[in-house]
Amino acid sequence: MSRVHIYTVHINPSLPQPYEAVEFVEEGFNWKAFIFSGFWALYNKLWWSALGIFAYNAFMAQLLSSHTFSHTGVGILQLGLELFIGFQANDWRRTNLKKRGFITADVVTGDSLIRAEQRFFDRYFSTRSSAAFSQ
């Protein structure tokens, strides 16, 4: 039995064809952000988040080198940050999309991103074609 994923679908209504630039953001914990936090933030153009993550890492390195905290203490603090990022990452992406003019168009489910995309576009094109036939 496969796991069902929930995605929010975001479009930019200011574009001439808003459904050609669709962003799907998964609900739940983001493992990529948990593992690659700063680089994940850079990849997703979350500049302030990336800056904060790198500054926090530099601060932790400074605490470690000044012997203010032990390796275990810094490791626990670092793990806490990574967990926080993993739980908040998708919300940060949604906020960034909203700032860039995107709106939430739909919520879809699927056992993978491809199935969720297929479900969304099937629904979108079926409503578009039925509206064209009714005219």
Q: What is the pLDDT of residues 4-44, one digit of tens each?
A: 999 999 999 999 988 888 999 999 999 999 999 999 999 99
* CB neighbour class for 65 (10 Å; exposed up to 12, middle 13-18, buried from 19): exposed
**Burial tier of 132 (Cβ tally within 10 Å: 0-12, 13-18, 19+):** exposed
Q: What is the pLDDT of residues 38-51, one digit of tens each?
A: 999 999 999 999 99
- The whole-angstrom separation of Cα 71 and Cα 47 is 29
pTM of the model: 0.81
Mean pLDDT of 114-133: 78
The arithmetic mean of pLDDT across residues 111-127, rounded, is 90
Q: What is the mean pLDDT of residues 57-66?
A: 91
